Amino acid sequence: MDQQIIAIKLSNSNGLELQISNFGATIISLMVPDKNKELINVVVSLESAEDYTKPYYLEKGLYLGSSVGRYAGRISRGCFKINDEVYPIHSENNVHLHGGKIGFDKKYWEVENLNKGKNPQITLSCISEHLEEGYPGNLKTFVTYQLSEENEVKIAYKATTDAETLVNLTNHSYFNLDGKGTILDHKLKINSLYYLELDGQLIPLGKLINSMNTSFDRNEISQLGREDFEGFDDTFVLGDEKLKALLMSPKTGIQMEVYTNQPASLVYTPVKLPDLTYKNEVSYSKFSAICFETQNFPDAPNNNNFPSSILKPGEEYINETVLKFSVI
């Protein structure tokens, strides 16, 4: 297909507007009405769709709103094994991150379907060929973004393969419900009783740690920037409750609920975003955004006690996540 940028906007009758780019199947804007019925862009966005393709942005490794794969998160040891066969993968400092050098975030996806009627949606696809970035099998991946009349953003990843392979996909949007500044005064709740123990390179050590009475205990809604908050780049094991996480801004009144069929969410709060050309020239301060990367456990291929990330021929990988917006 021609490698040119396509940006498509979806909107519902309540004023919600979602803009998607075919480069990385990326969310490049998400406008949500606040308590004053003003539209707030609740995701960190660059000024233009073309900016996402520029080397000065890509070298930052931010993945703003991108679809991440073949394997979201980290894989250790520079390889993985399937059926006793070892597959070497690109690593930096013994860490393979978000699918390798040319992951799904840097691919031009094909627009498969577009419906701008009621509950509008767009489906994009990409093909990852056998041994691309070291992964076996020809993998066909689809992502569908849909806006509902209930102000839900529905994200569904699906994939099939012709050989056993690893799959772990996610969307990497950065959320700030004020559209600028910091999120330290946002309210946060995560339904999770355990988090993954990590080494110094953020690689899971294979152990689940009870979060009760620790800084990882976010089961009761509280200010994100409470006294024990030092920032997250951590995997929360999600509980059985339907609602997995909740984020709310006292300033705008915007609330976002997170639902998913995935066993975990990597929660990431960068201390500082780099100086880039952000949309509408907004500025961000310390702890300016939060990511909910709903997915399987990082480094599952090298931890037998983690949920399997292997996809076999004849099976279908499905990652469904819903972001529901409201004003309180």
Q: Which residues are catalytic?
A: 172, 293
Backbone angles phi and psi of 34, in degrees to 5: -95, -170
Residue partners of 288: CB distance under 8 A and separation at least 6:
44, 174, 176, 181, 182, 183, 270, 272, 273
Per the CB < 8 A criterion, the answer to whether 146 and 11 are in contact is no
Give me the amino acid identity at 107. K
Running DSSP on this structure, what letter comes out for residue 281? G
Residue partners of 28: CB distance under 8 A and separation at least 6:
7, 19, 20, 21, 45, 46, 49, 52, 64, 65
Identify any residues that bridge with 246 across adjacent strands, giving them in sequence order: 189, 257
Per the CB < 8 A criterion, the answer to whether 125 and 109 are in contact is yes
Q: Is the dihedral of CA 32, 34, 39, 44 positive or negative?
A: negative
- Number of residues written out for the chain: 328
Query: How would you class 227 by CB atoms within 10 Å of its CB: exposed for 0-12, middle for 13-18, buried for 19 or more?
Result: exposed
Cα first-last separation, the chain:
44
Q: Tokens representing 305?
A: 């006690």
| CA gap 70, 100 in Å, rounded | 8
